Amino acid sequence: MHKKKINLVWLKRDLRSQDHEPLLKAEESGLPYLIIYLFEPSIIRYPDTSLRHLRFVYKSIATLDQTLKAFNRKVNLFYGEAKDIFKYLMGNYDINSLYSYRESGILLTWERDKLVKVLCRKNHVHWYEFQRDGILRGIKNRKDWEEKWHRKMHEPIIKNVYSVSNLAVLNHPFVLPENFKDKLKSEQTNIQPAGEVNAFRYLNSFVVNRGRNYQKHISKPLESRKGCSRLSPYLAWGNLSIRQVFQFVGTHPNGTKYDKAFSAMLTRLFWRCHFIQKFEMDCSYEKSCINKGFELLEHKRNDVYIKAWKLGLTGYPLIDACMRALEETGWINFRMRAMLVSFFTFNLDQDWRDGVYHLARLFLDYEPGIHYPQFQMQAGTTGVNTIRLYNPVKNSEEHDKDGVFIKKWIPELTNVPVIHIHEPWKMTSLEQSFCGVIIGEHYPAPIVDLVESSKFAREKIWNHRSDPSVKKDNNRILNTHVNHN
């Protein structure tokens, strides 16, 4: 049987139509090509994945399909394991080349990619993997990395154009199950809308107006919801490339008015890639302490503490409000994320691994390369970063002075006077009765003493930093992950 010669474009975290190198190369090849996306059961079942991620992907693809429709193209969806799907495609087509971006993913996706690479070699398929957002593969240290990243950010943005496809509709056995598709199509209120069009809408509103207060509002749990760029989900799933955002913000006329704000935002784009590069070089961040010496630091698992933290019932209003906001909307600002990790690992004295997947599932903008290195940095297990123990009461008083954010997400505290909103357990019985909140009944008392748990954590973590096993691994970490320009 004669097999039609084609190319494939495999989409992963790059769900957009512009500044897309694999789609450019497919067009330039002169061969017909199919665009594919795989919903893989092993990845769907993995503890870092949630329905909100999958919905965002599905709806991003639906938006992309609207763009491609004029060219008789669409993203072909598959439900199955990559190995089986590629075997099928290679059995039914004469595939010349496979184009994709490199994925700085977890070990599971890395092992999957190695299986696909073997299949490609066996079937004489050339797999071209392109650099994503300035992240380099195969480097051993950071020599000249920053310079190369900036050079990449200043390269011209790819203006993708599309030819009209004459390929017949692909019928295959890896169709999405109807019940799964129904879940993907369902709506969740308060979650940012997916897709390239919405990504540019958020980007434009940031540079036109919202970004003016970026520095002023970045640490505040309520104001940051408008003052921050809110581009992280679109960057995580590739509705926008880092380069598109870098150039759009960097060249916008409002840069003269909002110079400091825009500069601060662009710096964070760089740091975003810096952390992904760490994970690209060592994906063991997901499951092991990056400083091996911290594997010796013991934590006694407390399921009561873990459950209270996950449910937003710790008795500390800002902690609980952040967790509930995250559960409902998929987003909180960086400082509040760091505070949640700090409280979990230091004040509750829990192993970071017992909380890391929970937040991964909640974050709409979950990006493995940021999530695991950042989680470990906030948990104090790198050995080389400053230990930051965030005080939830102090942060509450400084960044949610009137308790507006707290009361929005903890309605049971609505009638608590501002003077007590940061520490409601300090109200007298009469005051509790007066505002209709009995601590321990309507809202929990603090599950740990903040002063005592903070003192215990400081002594524990600082003492362990002087352990020879920690010091021994510090040099390796610094030589690998610190910029050497």
Please, are residues 229 and 334 in contact by the beta-carbon 8 Å criterion? no
Q: Which residue has the higher pLDDT, 470 or 137?
A: 137
Complete DSSP assignment for 56-81: HHHHHHHHHHHHHGGGT--EEEEES-
**pLDDT value at residue 169:** 83
pLDDT digits (tens, 9 = 90+) for 430-473: 999 999 999 999 999 999 999 999 999 999 998 898 888 888 88
pLDDT digit string, tens, across residues 198-207:
999 999 999 9
Secondary structure letter of residue 169 according to DSSP:
P
Burial (0-12, 13-18, 19+ Cβ within 10 Å), 221: buried
pLDDT digits (tens, 9 = 90+) for 234-243: 999 999 999 9
Say yes or no to pLDDT of 484 above 70: no
pLDDT tens for 406-428 read: 999 999 999 999 999 999 999 99
At residue 210, the 3 state secondary structure works out as helix
Q: What pLDDT, on the 0 to 100 scale, is given for residue 470?
A: 87
The pLDDT of residue 485 is above 60:
no
Average pLDDT, stretch 94-98?
97
158 pLDDT above the threshold of 60: yes
Domains recognised in the chain with CATH numbers: 5-130 (3.40.50.620), 138-157+197-281 (1.25.40.80), 285-484 (1.10.579.10)
pLDDT digits (tens, 9 = 90+) for 30-52: 999 999 999 999 999 999 999 99
Kindly give, in sequence order, each residue whose CB lies less than 8 Å from that of residue 327, ignoring residues fewer than 6 positions away: 312, 362
CB environment 344-355: b (16+ within 10 A), e (fewer)? bbbbbbbbbbbb
Q: Higher-confidence residue: 173 or 469?
A: 173
* 422 close to 396: Cβ distance less than 8 angstroms: yes
Per-residue pLDDT of 260-300, as tens digits, reads: 999 999 999 999 999 999 999 999 999 999 999 999 999 99
Taking the CA of residue 243 as centre, how many other CA atoms within 13 Å lie in the half-sphere pointing to its CB? 22
180 pLDDT higher than 90? yes
295-349 pLDDT tens trace: 999 999 999 999 999 999 999 999 999 999 999 999 999 999 999 999 999 999 9
What is the reported pLDDT for 285? Answer: 95
Q: Which residues contact 229 (CB under 8 A, 6 or more apart)?
A: 202, 203, 206, 210, 211, 214, 245, 265
Hunting for tokens 């590629």 — which residue is that? 86
> Given its phi and psi angles, is residue 125 left (phi above 0), alpha (psi -120 to 50 degrees) or beta?
beta
Tell me how far apart the alpha carbons of residues 280 and 131 are, in angstroms, rounded to a whole number: 12
Q: What is the pLDDT of residue 358?
A: 98
Would you say residue 483 has pLDDT above 80?
no
Distance separating alpha carbons of residues 327 and 321, to the nearest angstrom: 10
> In the predicted model, is pLDDT for residue 1 greater than 80?
no
Q: Are 17 and 23 in contact (CB under 8 A)?
A: yes
To the question of pTM greater than 0.85 for the whole model, the response is yes
Residue 406 vs residues 79, 181, 395, 427: alpha-carbon distances, Å: 41, 36, 12, 17
Q: Average pLDDT of 80-90?
A: 98
pLDDT at 383: 83
The string of pLDDT tens digits covering residues 350-374 is 999 999 999 999 999 999 999 999 9
Query: Do 335 and 219 touch, CB atoms closer than 8 A?
Result: yes
Q: Which helix (H) or strand (E) holds 254?
A: none
| Beta-strand pair 94-101/483-484 | unpaired
- Other CB atoms within a 10 A radius of the CB of residue 5 amount to 11
Mean pLDDT on 202-221: 96
Task: Give me the long-range contacts of 200-203 (CB less than 8 A, separation at least 24).
Answer: 200/240, 202/229, 202/230, 202/231, 202/234, 203/229, 203/231, 203/234, 203/240, 203/245, 203/248, 203/249
* pLDDT computed for residue 482 by the predictor: 67
End-to-end CA distance of the chain: 56
